[in-house]
Amino acid sequence: MNLPTHFVFGALIGALFFGRWDFIWLVAVGAVLPDLDREYGFFSKDYFRDHQLHRALYHNFFFIGIVYLISPYLAIGAFSHTLLDATNTAKDRGVEWLYPFSRLVKKARYDHEGKKIELDPKKLDPKIKVYMYQNDPVELTRKTAEDMKDYTIRPWRRVYGPFYSGGILDIGILAGSTALFLFMAILSLLGVRTFIDFFNPPFSFNFIGPLFIGVLGIALVMGIGERKRQIEAKRASRAPPILWKLSFFISISLIAIGIGLGAYLNPGSYVAFTSNLPYLAAGILVVFLIAFIVLKIFARRSVARIRDGHDPYTV
């Protein structure tokens, strides 16, 4: 999906569920955050292609969870962005929801043609205990975007959908979201029915100041980054020059300053965040503990079934 589609769709989500102008802005800004995982920073073209970072680095549950710690409304926007991108075909990469944990799995039980990979029990690597079900079909990779054309056989980590990026779905969501948001805004301003409250809470620097600084940082990352991509596309792969690295550092610093200033000027949100930290930590610990136990049991069972000549995925 294109960036304007994500932004307007995020604004519509904020209007439909919250109706306050400040929350609408936060959801809309959050809806552009995942696309910061393009090759805007310190990555060469070859490094970016080899590691397939776009639609992975910030298009995942782990990133959404980190953003949630900053603001739940930003996280809702980031989730809406990732969900829309997950409806795209392999032509536009799909989404790697479980990154970086999906990169820990190196092998699959079926090859890219769907044929079962015969594993020799005597040659099993004891370090590899968890397998993906199937390798990513190479023919899909050949049809995808330029930065993804790496034909290395690897596990199928990404989620694809039925819709071609930039097609009628993208245009339809952009047009439909824009029309519905404007309709709600006009009815609210005319006093027919208040879908969007443009006056409460009152406008204040405590909110607008940090938001402006953060948005400026995001705009610089994407604006300068896109220019860098266009220039570097005509050259052989190389490490980004120092000026690109400096601009990226300044942009990321502005985003960090916006977040820090927002926490300082709005101590209520900061107190709420810190008071929830013990519960968040406990929840994270429980999730990882359960995942560790399940993987241990699954790995032991899978290795045993492979050694017995059975498919580990059958009951």
Residue 64: both structure tokens together: 């959404």
User: Looking at per-residue confidence, does 123 or 260 come out higher?
Assistant: 260
* pLDDT tens by residue, 129-144: 677 888 887 777 677 7
Single-letter amino acid code for the residue at 80:
S
Q: What is the DSSP string of 78-131?
A: HHHHHHHHTTB-GGGT-B-TTTTGGGG---EEE-TTSPBPP--GGG--TT----
How far from chain centre, in Å, is Cα 191?
A: 38
Q: Looking at the predicted structure, is the pLDDT value of residue 124 above 80?
A: no
> Can you tell me the mean pLDDT for 181-205?
91
Phi/psi zone of residue 94: left (φ > 0), alpha (ψ -120 to 50 degrees), beta?
left
H-assigned helices in the chain: 3-17, 21-30, 45-51, 61-70, 72-85, 138-142, 168-190, 205-232, 242-265, 267-307
Q: Pick 272 or 103 by higher pLDDT.
A: 103
Residue 315 has pLDDT above 50, yes or no: no
Instruction: Using a cut of 0.75, tell me whether the model's pTM lies above it.
Output: yes
Q: How far is CA 48 from CA 42, 57, 115, 162, 280, in A?
A: 10, 11, 30, 25, 33
Residue 302 pLDDT greater than 70, yes or no: no
Among the residue ranges 51-65, 69-83, 173-187, 237-251, the one predicted with the least confidence is 237-251
